[in-house]
Amino acid sequence: MQNQDSGNFFQSIKIQKQLLLLLLFSSIVPVSITGIYGIVSSSSALTSLGENQLLESAVSEGNSIESFLKGINEDVLFLSKTPQIQGIVRARGGIDKETNASAEDLTKQLETLLTSMMQSKSYYMQLRYLDEKGQEIVRVDSDGTTVKVIPKADLQNKGDRPYFTDTMKLPLGSLYTSPVNLNQERGQIERPFKPVIRYATPVYDGSGKARGIVIANVFANQFIKYIEEGNHNKDEAFLVNEKGYYISHPQDEKEWGEDLKKEEKLEKDYGEALAKEILSGDRGVTEKEGSYTIAYSKIPLDPQSKQFLVAINQSPKSEILKSVNAFKGVAIGIILGGLAIVLPIGIFRGKQLVNLIKQLVNGISSASQQIFSTLEEQERIASQQAASVNETTTTMDELEASSRQSAQQAKAAVTAAQEALVLAQGGTEAVGETLEGMFTLEKKVGAIAEQIVLLSEQASQIGTISQFVSDVANKTNMLALNSSVEAVRAGEHGKGFSVVANEIRKLADQSQRSAEKINNLVTEIQGSINSTVMVTEEGTKTVTAGVETAKKTDAAFSGVTEAVNKVVINNQQISLNLKQQVDAIQQVVQAMDSINQGAKETAVGINQTKVGTEQLNETAQQLNQMV
């Protein structure tokens, strides 16, 4: 029921409004879907791009720090293998037998080497060589600009320091790495703060015995600056150690919490779960309560140590989504602008289309009305034609029956004439047989002559009637031809065909009367012949006259036979013509039946076309109302 109500509702809306609604939906819906999909997919791509850029920044900072520290590792291992340190180990305060150099000379050479290295690499704070007891043998310090060799008198023993004892336990080629912390002098943190990291490696002699360590103190600021350079715009970069304490932070008061005994660490600001995720992973991107996007990258301090740093880059999500929001604004503007351009044009073109449809509907309605009027007129004419053809068919049926009856009567006349011919031939034979007895007919010659004259007159009448019958047959033949022509013209309402049919009926009646006259004459001839026979019997006594009379009678009978023969021939021709006339009339009747059937089918087709035109007109009017 609801679907039916909805269908009626839409049918009640004019097509013009339906087209406008369709235009609105076909424009807004696809454009909106496409725009929303583009915005969503682009937003996801731009968000991923922003996160990747943040991660790349953190990874780049971590790689820079790792590369820097790797160079320190290589320098320390290189120093442990230099000839100067190896010579000092072999000299043991005396002379190095391999180089013949004294320990003092080797010490000065090592001082020169370390000084040169520190001058070329300003990030070194201190380079030292300590013997197996922890006594400083060579020490070169730098404040970042000036390099200074510490005199022998100021050298200290560091044998109690954890970095010394831990390094002495390491195998050859291994490294000790200290945490990144604030430098201390005599147990006190230096001020201003000097963050440092220490790398040390043991020195072994040829017998495999540890003979001291080489240690490098490095200004941590040299690699912390990579993190500080990451703090730009609204992005923030941090550096924390493996415990989560800040080594570098945009807020200075949060730095060096471990050294200063403060609980300023990652867990405090990010929560335990997020801090654990960052410290336990190698690199990745995460979020802080939906407000910040965080990228992190682990930095191992050396391949053998479990100590590491973590470079962290943090950016507000609004900053990450800034380009996304800008794209959304541009996309929405483009969508609205496109709709603002497309919809007016579509509405304008839609109105033009509706006007065109109205014009077409009006044209269809007018044409259908004209066709309807024409079909009504054709239907009336077809009905009249059907009635005329039906009447003509009835008349032709009657004419056929009359012609068939005339043909039968003509056939009967032929039969009678043939019988008369047979009788005449029999009379002639009888006359021949009685010639010898005709001598007595002399007295009856006059009577016979009179009868012969009568027969001659009747024969003349028969000839005249036969000639008339011949003329009738010719006219009947012509009328049959005209009937065929009129049958062809029957498609033009059959006018004139009834006249021909009436004429044919009259001629058929005349043929019938002529045939009756021929029968009467034949009867009279038979009576005259009987009289002649009687007179001939009475005149048998007069032989001479009878012979002459018989001769004349024989001649007369020959003429009668010839005349009757002609009558037979003419009657046969009349019968044949009437038969042909009947066949022609049957063909005309069949043709008229076909015409009648065609007229009926035409009337039915015109009626169906009329109904279809009425429906077309009604549809055009409904469409005109809907538009």
pLDDT in tens, 361-376: 677 667 667 776 776 7
Q: Which of 89, 83, 149, 88 is nearest to 118 (CA)?
A: 149
What distance in Å separates the CA atoms of residue 248 and residue 252, rounded to the nearest whole number? 8
For residue 213, give the DSSP letter: E
- Tokens 């012979």 correspond to 547
**pLDDT exceeds 60 at position 314:** yes
Mean predicted confidence (pLDDT) in 56-85: 91
606 within 8 A of 378, measured Cβ to Cβ: yes
Strand partners, 96: 101
pLDDT the model gives residue 338:
65
Task: Express the helix, strand and coil content of the chain in percent, nearest 5 each.
Answer: 70, 15, 15
pLDDT the model gives residue 74:
93
What distance in Å separates the CA atoms of residue 385 and residue 603, rounded to the nearest whole number? 10
What distance in Å separates the CA atoms of residue 111 and residue 437, rounded to the nearest whole number? 203
When comparing pLDDT for 323 and 608, which is higher?
A: 608
Q: Which of 214-218, 382-386, 562-566 has the lowest mean pLDDT?
A: 382-386
Instruction: Calculate the CA dihedral of residues 588, 594, 598, 601 and round it to 10 degrees.
Output: 140
The most confident of the ranges 173-177, 405-409, 620-624 is 173-177
Mean predicted confidence (pLDDT) in 584-594: 73
pLDDT the model gives residue 373:
73
Length, in residues, of the chain: 627
DSSP letter string, 601-619: HHHHHHHHHHHHHHHHHHH
318 within 8 A of 326, measured Cβ to Cβ: no
What percent of the chain clears pLDDT 90, i.e. is strictly above it?
22
> H-helix or E-strand containing 107?
helix 103-120
Mean predicted confidence (pLDDT) in 428-432: 68
**pLDDT exceeds 80 at position 18:** no
Mean predicted confidence (pLDDT) in 378-397: 71
**pLDDT exceeds 80 at position 6:** no
Q: What's the pLDDT tens digit per position in 221-265? A: 888 888 887 766 667 888 999 999 998 888 888 889 888 888 889
What distance in Å separates the CA atoms of residue 388 and residue 490, rounded to the nearest whole number? 9
Which amino acid, 270? Y
DSSP letter string, 465-527: HHHHHHHHHHHHHHHHHHHHHHHHGGGTTTTTHHHHHHHHHHHHHHHHHHHHHHHHHHHHHHH
What percent of the chain clears pLDDT 70, i.e. is strictly above it?
66
Q: Which of 77, 78, 99 is nearest to 89 (CA)?
A: 99
Q: Which of 372, 387, 392 is nearest to 599 (CA)?
A: 387
pLDDT the model gives residue 411:
74
pLDDT the model gives residue 443:
62
Mean predicted confidence (pLDDT) in 2-11: 52
pLDDT the model gives residue 41:
62
Q: What's the pLDDT tens digit per position in 97-141? A: 888 999 999 999 999 999 999 999 999 999 999 999 999 999 999
Plot region of 218 (φ>0 → left; ψ -120 to 50 → alpha; else → beta): beta
Peptide bond into 344 cis (omega under 30): no
Residue 323: band (very low, low, confident or very high) from pLDDT cuts 50, 70, 90: low
18-50 b/e (C-beta count within 10 Å ≥ 16 → b): bbbeebeeebeeebeeebeeebeebbeebbeeb
User: Which residues, 6 or more positions from 114, have their beta carbon under 8 angstroms from its beta carbon?
Assistant: 79, 127, 138, 140, 149
Residue 10: band (very low, low, confident or very high) from pLDDT cuts 50, 70, 90: very low
89 within 8 A of 118, measured Cβ to Cβ: no
What distance in Å separates the CA atoms of residue 509 and residue 328, rounded to the nearest whole number? 109
pLDDT the model gives residue 614:
75
CB atoms within 10 A of CB 191: 7
**pLDDT exceeds 90 at position 321:** no
Mean predicted confidence (pLDDT) in 157-168: 93
When comparing pLDDT for 87 and 388, which is higher?
A: 87
When comparing pLDDT for 118 and 568, which is higher?
A: 118
CB-based burial label for 319 (10 Å; 0-12, 13-18, 19+): middle
In what side-by-side order are the strands of the sheet with 236-241?
246-248, 236-241, 308-316, 292-300, 283-288
CB-based burial label for 176 (10 Å; 0-12, 13-18, 19+): buried
Which amino acid, 511? S
3-class SS of residue 245: strand
Distances (CA, A) of 345 to 24, 334, 354, 470: 12, 17, 14, 93
CB atoms within 10 A of CB 360: 14
CA atoms within 13 A on the CB side of 224: 22
